[in-house]
Structure 1
Amino acid sequence: MEEYKIVQRNLALQREWYGEPLGDRVRRLVVAFDVSQAQLADVLGISAPMLSQVMSGRRAKIGNPAVLARMVMLERRVLTPEVASGDKEALKRALEEVRASRPTVGRDTLPVHERNHDEAALAVLRRHARSVDDLSAAAELLSTRFPSLSDLLRRAAQEG
């Protein structure tokens, strides 16, 4: 197979396995954390050349599940208010915490178990809502068709 076809096949596999090409996900992290690809590779626990190959589609997958778990951890950290605001210390702290992590990936953790990941979603909802009443009203509107989403909105309203 010529290289172009291999890359296209690998990108299609990435869309299937990861929801989108890994290059897109990695580029968002590079921008969000204001780091180079090589620095991000170090945090993830993968070599810079390997990360480059995955991003470009020359390789289809990340072989080490802990590397993927760290990527997901960083994606979740982007949703926290401190990191989302671009606070340099918060960015640095998040990168260091993820670099030092030893995530477990298994049958019961899909793909990574990290405490308080709901808190990030609740914080984002509170930040973007005009008021607690808006959160409650949205919860009411969604309660019949989308009960899980309604519950999340109610929690954001109650704890806000």
Structure 2
Amino acid sequence: MEEQKIVQRNLALQREWYGEPLGDRVRRLVVAYRISQAQLADVLGISAPMLSQVMSGRRAKIGNPSVLARLVMLERRALARDVIAGDREAIQRALDEVRNSRPTVARGELPINEGNHADIVAQVLGQAASFDELIEAAELIEGRLPKLARVLRDAARD
């Protein structure tokens, strides 16, 4: 019975710290990337038993900021059109990039400094609007906001 109270407390802490239980976030990644929990643990850089403990609530937090950063990176990359479509090469490329990353997390912050975010924005925009809508929006703002217009055009190409 005592273990059940600890698990409930840990799950409540995860909701507070991470917005929801880590098990929910991890399960979505396993489904999105079509991999096992053990494979996901390898990509994140933690042991499979540690990942299992975090998912079940037997452990409250991910103590290594780089591991948490990789989890967030995977969540962002899961929004890519080719990953959503199940393209095996795109999935493997995303997993390899995250596995090989050395993310930096400044004290007290998380977004992760992982490079150019325009690619991620373009992928999300490409899912949200049609080719014609993206091109029309780019043309409307080209004179005042050329960098944003370029992102819209990139999204239309994807």
Q: Provide the TM-score with structure 2 as the length reference.
A: 0.80
Return closer, same or farther for 1:35/1:133 CA change in 2, 3 Å cut-off: closer
Runs of at least 5 residues in structure 2 that lack an aligned partner in the other structure: 138-147
State yes or no: 1:44 paired with 2:60.
Answer: no
1:118 is displaced (CA, Å) by 3.8
1:97 is displaced (CA, Å) by 1.2
Aligned to 2:70: 70
Q: Provide the TM-score with structure 1 as the length reference.
A: 0.79
1:8-157 equivalence runs, <5 A = 8-107=8-107, 110-130=110-130, 131-132=132-133, 136=137, 157=152
Task: Describe the superposition over 1:14-48 as per-residue Cα deviations: whole angstroms up to 9, x where unpaired.
Answer: 01100110000000000111111011001100010
Mean CA deviation greater in 75-84 or 107-116: 107-116
User: Quick check: 1:122–1:155 contact (8 Å CA) kept in 2?
Assistant: no
Return closer, same or farther for 1:54/1:6 CA change in 2, 3 Å cut-off: same
Pairwise CA RMSD: 2.7
Return closer, same or farther for 1:36/1:4 CA change in 2, 3 Å cut-off: same
User: Quick check: 1:81–1:120 contact (8 Å CA) kept in 2?
Assistant: no
Return closer, same or farther for 1:3/1:117 CA change in 2, 3 Å cut-off: same
1:133 is displaced (CA, Å) by 7.0
> Residues of 1 paired with 2:70 and 2:120: CA distance?
17
The alignment partner of 1:20 has SS state of coil
User: Quick check: 2:10–2:59 contact (8 Å CA) kept in 1?
Assistant: yes
Return closer, same or farther for 1:3/1:134 CA change in 2, 3 Å cut-off: farther
> Residues of 2 paired with 1:135 and 1:84: CA distance?
26
What percentage of residue pairs aligned between the two structures are identical?
69
> Residues of 2 paired with 1:154 and 1:23: CA distance?
38
Letter in 2 for 1:75: E
1:107 is displaced (CA, Å) by 3.1
User: Quick check: 2:11–2:21 contact (8 Å CA) kept in 1?
Assistant: yes
The alignment partner of 2:91 has SS state of helix
